[in-house]
């Protein structure tokens, strides 16, 4: 369970501040029943260039085991792989804008692969599609065995597919390593 404790500092917290105030507890809470989350149900992304994004996600998501269950000129929605992803057009006054990763809101969306080979296959598919790969596939030290590919959709929304073996950061004795290139 991840528990956040707010800092009493009056300045905006840095990543280092946040790392210091978050602790991972590996014990059960016997005082009350925990709310058990079973993954992420869905994410809906608002896109600036819906037609281009529709082609991108229409090719990518079925390769991730997601089935298109709704497809119109205002919404595209795929379900599978224990989650769902949808896209919808932005407000008409914002058409042409690109995603800015450091603004308030989404930083990036990461999907967990079942193997390193799946990460490699994702990178191969992106190359075949002619899409922008930002980094990877490569290993990093954020968690033991962390292997990933980071890429962008047509609006510059950053997406990641990663693989972390075993229990990852929940394994006894492991810690998150937020090296300077994590964000």
Q: Report the distance separating Cα 12 and Cα 52, nearest Å.
A: 37
Q: Is residue 123 part of a domain?
A: yes
Q: Tell me, what CATH number does 109's domain have? A: 3.10.180.10
Q: Is residue 8 part of a domain?
A: no
One domain for residues 74 and 109? no
Q: Is residue 6 part of a domain?
A: no
One domain for residues 126 and 153? yes
One domain for residues 142 and 167? yes
Nearest to 85 by CA among 150, 36, 157: 157
Q: Is residue 2 part of a domain?
A: no
Structure confidence by residue, pLDDT tens digits, 86-122: 999 999 999 989 988 888 888 899 999 999 999 999 9
CB-based contacts of 48: which residues, under 8 Å, 6+ apart?
A: 89, 90, 94, 95, 96, 97, 98, 155
One domain for residues 118 and 147? yes
Q: Is residue 19 part of a domain?
A: no
Q: Provide the domain count of the chain.
A: 2
One domain for residues 49 and 83? yes
Structure confidence by residue, pLDDT tens digits, 120-170: 999 999 999 999 899 999 999 888 999 999 999 999 999 999 999 988 888
Q: Is residue 87 part of a domain?
A: yes
Range of the domain at 80: 39-97
One domain for residues 128 and 168? yes
One domain for residues 103 and 183? yes
Rounded (5°) CA angle 130-84-117: 50
Q: State if pTM tops 0.85.
A: no
3-state secondary structure of 179: coil
Q: In sequence order, what are the beta bridge partners of 111? A: 161
Structure confidence by residue, pLDDT tens digits, 26-60: 445 566 799 998 889 999 999 999 999 999 999 99
One domain for residues 86 and 111? no
């Amino acid at each position: 369970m991840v528990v956040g404790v707010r800092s009493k500092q009056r300045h905006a917290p840095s990543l280092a501040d946040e790392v210091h105030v978050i602790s991972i507890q590996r014990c059960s809470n016997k005082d009350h029943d925990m709310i058990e989350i079973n993954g992420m149900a869905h994410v809906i992304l608002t896109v600036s260039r819906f037609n281009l994004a529709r082609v991108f996600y229409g090719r990518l998501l079925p390769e991730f085991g997601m089935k298109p269950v709704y497809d119109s000129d205002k919404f595209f929605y795929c379900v599978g792989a224990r989650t769902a992803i949808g896209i919808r057009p932005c407000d008409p006054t914002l058409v042409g804008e690109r995603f800015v990763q450091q603004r308030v809101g989404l930083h990036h969306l990461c999907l967990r692969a079942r193997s390193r080979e799946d990460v490699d296959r994702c990178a191969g598919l992106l190359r075949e599609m002619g899409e922008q790969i930002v980094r990877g596939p490569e290993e990093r030290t954020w968690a033991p065995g962390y292997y990933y590919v980071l890429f962008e959709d047509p609006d510059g929304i950053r997406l990641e597919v990663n693989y972390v073996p075993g229990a990852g950061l929940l394994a006894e004795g492991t810690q998150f390593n937020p090296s300077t290139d994590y964000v």
